[in-house]
């Protein structure tokens, strides 16, 4: 609902601003860090007591309205646990995402509604409910680690669109590896916070979660050396930002020395040096352009069709497409040999020379950056 209201009232440009500009992304990153700190026990987010008492008084009315305020009071009382979760969902919704916030809020509402419904039908189940205590705090801490990891995505988007060079791929992966390693040790009881109760033994579900966490860490480690990590491709910085990429090193050596050892160097398929090639890149060692006019001129010269890739630094689906479809050897062969590639980054904030500024025929505004131009 929030995403739809933002799009209708403020337009697509504002949604693009929220999803790619450094200010909202850094703000969202700080919000996630704030919520993570709360989950990890640094402080507790609570609502004023008068608000809870007023809602509780309305719950005594009975009927549908009374039931509503009973549930609403529960939400307010548990705000220190649920607030960070709802906040993260609302951030995603304001950024223009649709499916994830809907699923998230549906799950949030079911988590509160389903227990009341089930216990109304099966009241004896109340006797078997686990008591609140250390296990509930452990859930909060695990969610805190997850929010730490997810918050880095927003900082990464700002870093890519403005080319700050703070979070390249291996730095991002290093953060995730450390965060989830610490989470695994926490699940095993090797890491404790001041508000944690003593853990005398490890339950089977907790051990299973620890195994899954360390398996995830083991999966990410090869990514430090250039492994594509297709399952995470939509959430990681592009492969081109990787400083030590073994795949790229091998690929470059093959291009220079040839597969047969004859020392023949493979020539470039480009007509001239691509504009913005120092800051923008194509995946899988593909050669191409980042300016439409330059690519069109080369396509006419080589008598090849032009392949236009509308992409973006913060585009999750673009990274998924590059990792899962473009990586297919048959697709790569066609892209290399049969097309002139041009990648148009619609969210890049690099300012163009004044001679390349254009005035849009759609809104009459002057477009001064690479992203605004396309």
Q: What is the pLDDT of residues 239-252, one digit of tens each?
A: 888 877 777 666 66
Mean pLDDT of the chain: 78
Higher-pLDDT residue of 131, 310: 310
How far is 280 from 127, CA to CA, in rounded Å?
61
| Average pLDDT of span 27-46 | 85
Q: What would be the CATH architecture of the domain defined by 270-373?
A: 3-Layer(aba) Sandwich (3.40)
Asked if residues 332 and 339 have their Cβ atoms less than 8 Å apart, the reply is no
Q: Is the pLDDT of residue 97 over 90?
A: no
Average pLDDT rounded to a whole number, residues 100-110: 70
**pLDDT score of 109 more than 60:** yes
Is the CB of residue 166 less than 8 Å from the CB of residue 159?
yes
Q: Once rounded to an integer, what is the mean pLDDT over residues 171-193?
A: 94
Across the range 328-333, mean pLDDT stands at 92
Q: What is the pLDDT of residue 44?
A: 76
Mean pLDDT of 175-196: 92
Answer yes or no: are the C-beta atoms of 366 and 357 closer than 8 Å. Answer: yes
Burial of 101 (0-12, 13-18, 19+ CB in 10 A): buried
pLDDT at 257: 60
Per-residue pLDDT at 75 exceeds 60: no
Percent of the chain clearing pLDDT 90 (strictly above)? 27
- Please spell the DSSP secondary structure of 19-43, one letter per residue: HHSHHHHHHHHHHHHHHHHHHTTS-
How much is the average pLDDT of 154-183? 93
Q: Is the per-residue pLDDT at 79 higher than 50?
A: no
Whether 264 has a pLDDT exceeding 50, the answer reads no
- Model confidence band, residue 21 (pLDDT cutoffs 50, 70, 90): confident
Query: 1, 226, 224: which is closest to 98 by C-alpha?
Result: 1
Statement: residue 25 has pLDDT above 70 = yes
- Residue 6 predicted with pLDDT over 60: no
Q: Which residue has the higher pLDDT, 266 or 5?
A: 5
CA distances from 60 to 67, 68, 163 (A): 9, 11, 57
Q: Is 233 helix (H, G, I), strand (E, B) or coil?
A: coil
Domain ranges of the chain: 2-167, 171-267, 270-373
Q: Please state, for a pLDDT cut of 70, what percent of the chain lies above it.
A: 67
Mean pLDDT over 56-65 rounds to: 56
Please enumerate, as own/partner, the contacts of 224-227 that have beta carbons within 8 Å and a separation of 24 or more. Answer: 224/170, 224/173, 224/174, 224/177
CB 184 within 8 A of CB 209: no
Q: Supply the pLDDT for residue 116.
A: 62
Instruction: Pick the more confident residue, 226 or 291.
Output: 291
- Among 80-89, 328-337, 350-359, name the one with the lowest average pLDDT: 80-89
pLDDT for the residue numbered 267: 52
Mean pLDDT (whole number) for 61-87: 54
pLDDT-based confidence at 206, cuts 50/70/90?
Answer: very high
Contact 267, 353 (CB under 8 A): no
**pLDDT at residue 354 tops 80:** yes
Q: What's the pLDDT score for residue 251?
A: 65
Q: Where are the alpha helices (DSSP H) in the chain?
A: 2-10, 12-20, 22-39, 49-58, 63-77, 79-94, 99-121, 134-162, 169-187, 204-220, 246-257, 292-302, 316-321, 329-338, 370-373
């Amino acid at each position: 609902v929030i995403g739809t209201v933002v799009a209708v009232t403020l337009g697509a440009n504002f949604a693009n601003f929220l999803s790619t500009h450094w200010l909202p992304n850094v703000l969202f990153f700080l919000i996630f860090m704030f919520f993570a700190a709360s989950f990890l026990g640094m402080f507790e987010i609570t609502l004023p007591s008068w608000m809870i008492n007023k809602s509780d008084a309305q719950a005594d009315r009975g009927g549908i309205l009374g039931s509503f305020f009973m549930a609403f009071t529960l939400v307010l009382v548990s705000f220190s646990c649920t607030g960070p979760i709802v906040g993260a969902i609302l951030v995603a919704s304001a950024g223009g995402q649709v499916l994830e916030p809907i699923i998230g809020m549906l799950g949030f509402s079911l988590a509160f509604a389903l227990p009341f419904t089930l216990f109304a039908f099966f009241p004896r189940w109340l006797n078997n409910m686990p008591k609140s205590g250390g296990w509930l705090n452990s859930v909060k801490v695990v969610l805190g680690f997850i929010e730490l990891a997810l918050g880095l995505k927003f900082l990464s988007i700002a870093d890519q669109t403005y080319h700050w060079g703070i979070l390249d791929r291996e730095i991002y992966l290093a953060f995730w590896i450390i965060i989830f390693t610490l989470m695994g040790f926490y699940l095993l009881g090797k890491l404790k916070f001041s508000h944690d109760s003593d853990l005398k033994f490890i339950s089977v579900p907790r051990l299973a979660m620890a195994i899954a966490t360390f398996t995830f860490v083991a999966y990410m480690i090869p990514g430090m050396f250039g492994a594509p990590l297709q399952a995470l491709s939509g959430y990681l910085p592009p492969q081109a930002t990787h400083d030590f990429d073994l795949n790229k090193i091998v690929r470059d050596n093959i291009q220079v020395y040839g597969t047969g050892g004859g020392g023949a160097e493979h020539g470039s398929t480009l007509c001239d040096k691509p504009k913005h090639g120092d800051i923008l890149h194509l995946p899988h060692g593909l050669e191409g352009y980042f300016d439409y006019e330059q690519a069109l001129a080369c396509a006419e010269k080589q008598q090849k069709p032009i392949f236009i890739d509308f992409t973006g630094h913060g585009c999750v689906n673009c990274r998924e497409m590059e990792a899962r479809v473009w990586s297919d050897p048959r697709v790569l062969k066609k892209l290399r040999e049969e097309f002139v590639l041009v990648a148009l980054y619609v969210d890049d904030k690099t300012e163009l020379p004044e001679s390349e500024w254009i005035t849009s025929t759609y809104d009459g505004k002057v477009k001064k950056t690479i992203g605004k131009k396309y």
